[in-house]
Every structure is written in structure tokens, then in C-alpha cells.
Structure 1
Amino acid sequence: MKDFSRLVSEQMETMEKLLFLQSEIERCQEIENELRELQEEAKRESVCAEIERKKKELKEIHDIFEKQTEELIQSYQDTAALV
């Protein structure tokens, strides 16, 4: 059960990272739209690049989260099989 608890804790940390990055992407997209309206292309391109970096990081963390979910399920099944 110790392993299961550790996996749950790790997954919660990953979920926090996912939520943070999603909110950051939304914030950057809002800035991008504002800059587009102001027609400040150079700044908009910088924000677009930041959005792409954050999307890539989000994808990486999402992949980790999926792997942790699989480990969590396996740990639970292993624990249940022992009972």
C-alpha cells in the first residue's frame, strides 16, 4: 500500500503541473490576442513562441501523468490481488 500512496502523491503533483501549465497557456493566448489587436507583431511572435514551448511542456507532463496512471492502476491491482 506504501507504493500505491507514493504513486497517488506523485500523480497529484503532476496534476498540479498540468493545471498550472494549462492556465499559463490560456494567459499567454489572451496576451497574444490583445497584441494582435494592437498589431504588435514582434511581441505577438514572442508570445506565440512561449505558447508553443508551454504546449510542448504540457504534452510531456501529460505523458508522464498517463504513465503514472498506468503505474497506479497496476499497483492497485497488485495490492488487491494480495488481499
Structure 2
Amino acid sequence: MSAAPAWLPVHLASWAAAPKVHLAAHGDETVERALLGGQPVQGDVLLSGPFVMDRPERLERAKRDFAGGRMGRLEGVPF
């Protein structure tokens, strides 16, 4: 697998299969990153705010659970 090209801030890189991934920062800028892995999603993906689900009823349930405090609270989050 060839190395991924450089990308600008707030960009996404995706590798279909990679035994190793090398992340490097250059210069004095702060770097924030998230590295996620897993099996490919089969089927629909529904997004609403911070919630990602596979079916509309699960998405609505997650929003109700969050609004009802069943997922905890984060300081400074307005919803």
C-alpha cells in the first residue's frame, strides 16, 4: 500500500486495508486526530447531530435517551 498523500486540516483520509498507518505532524501547529477502525458498515447509515445509527427508530431512541439524561451530560454542550 502506498503512503497516503498529505491533506489539509479538517480532512478525512480512508484506507481500505492497511497493516500500518503512519501519522506525522510538521511545523508548530497543534494536531488533533481520531483514528477509527472496524468492519465496513453494511446497509444504511443515518446521521443526526452526534448520533449515528442504522435505522430511524434507533436514531430517535438515541436522541430521546440523550435528552432524558440516560447517556450522561457533558459540560458546555448546549443540547
Please identify which structure carries the higher strand content: 2
TM-score after normalising by structure 1: 0.23
TM-score after normalising by structure 2: 0.24
Bigger CA radius of gyration: 1
Please identify which structure carries the higher helix content: 1
